Amino acid sequence: MPYLKLRDGAQLFYKDWGNPNGEIVTFSHGWPLSSDNWETQMFFLAEQGYRVIAHDRRGHGRSTQTWDGNNINSFTNDLQELFEHLDIRNAVMVGHSHGGGEVTRFLGKHGTSRVKKAVLIGAVPPLMLKTAENAEGTDKSVFDSFRQAMHKDRAQFFLDVPSGPFFGFNRPGVQKSEGQIRHWWQQGMNTSFKTAYDCIRDFSETDFTEDLKKIDIPVLVLHGDDDQVVPIEAAGRKAAKLLPKGELKVYPGGSHAIHNINVDEVNKDLLDFIRS
């Protein structure tokens, strides 16, 4: 399995699938998951002739479980090292949830010289936390309850999240996938406790507003209007307006995990946008 040794000695796991000479699409995963959460999109695009690359952020999946550095600036510096190591150019970046924040900060901090387009799916930007200026955000007490649940019983909490709001399995009439729940749990439990805990603050309190304003490439924003984790009014709709070249597509009734639930539609939207 391929690993990149980072500046501090940490090992970053990554997947590099498909046509080695094809156009590159990179994937950044959400909390508290790993690159495995993108497997259906990666397989689909690899079959279309693309080179698809996804990494496990430090502390997640198969990457080194570092005690420090569990924050968006460290994550994006790691990703920049991976881009340089693999000489990634003219790429399309795709990010979900916290990974959408990673893509946004990466482009805001490191620029767009290596990237031609980006896709944000159920992404956290511009800001999840409710403040005086961000009335549509989520109250801090919700994120405090996440931390309390981790302290009490992380394993159960990591069953409750995918069994309910993450995939929208708590909605009436929705068919629940036990496989999706177990897969989420497995990924989450492979992430270090410290990283998962630190990232609750990182994804909820990081303000990406200025990053969004700097991104000068086309960005497709995909968001479900029944996203119970990252509500569309606080995220997708605002992000699309802040992006100079942003385009919003709303998935009616869509959950936080539209790429896992609305697989065919998301895959088609990705392919159409990449080809456009």
List the CATH number of the domain containing 237. Answer: 3.40.50.1820
- How many domains, the chain? 1
| pLDDT > 70 fraction of the chain, expressed in percent and rounded | 100
Q: Is the pLDDT of residue 256 over 70?
A: yes
* Average pLDDT for 162-169: 98
User: Which one of 56, 202, 211, 227 is the catalytic residue?
Assistant: 227
DSSP annotation of 217 reads: S
Instruction: Round the average pLDDT of the chain to a whole number and report it.
Output: 97
User: Which one of 96, 98, 256, 259 is the catalytic residue?
Assistant: 256
Strands across the sheet containing 51-55: 3-5, 11-18, 51-55, 24-28, 91-96, 115-121, 219-224, 246-251
Q: Is the pLDDT of residue 149 over 80?
A: yes
Q: Is the pLDDT of residue 1 over 80?
A: no
DSSP 3-state of 110: helix
According to DSSP, the β-strands at 115-121 and 11-18 are unpaired
According to DSSP, the β-strands at 115-121 and 91-96 are parallel
What pLDDT is recorded for position 159?
98
The answer to whether 227 is a known catalytic residue is yes
User: Which one of 97, 192, 204, 255 is the catalytic residue?
Assistant: 97
Q: Is the pLDDT of residue 152 over 80?
A: yes
Please write the tens of the pLDDT for every residue from 8-56: 999 999 999 999 999 999 999 999 999 999 999 999 999 999 999 999 9
* Average pLDDT for 191-215: 98
* Average pLDDT for 125-147: 96
Domain that holds residue 209: 3-275
- Measured distance CA(142)–CA(146) in Å, rounded: 7
Q: How far is CA 42 from the centre of its chain?
A: 14
Please write the tens of the pLDDT for every residue from 169-201: 999 999 999 999 999 999 999 999 999 999 999
How far CA 33 is from CA of 71, 97, 172, 219, in Å, comes to: 15, 10, 26, 23
What pLDDT is recorded for position 251?
98
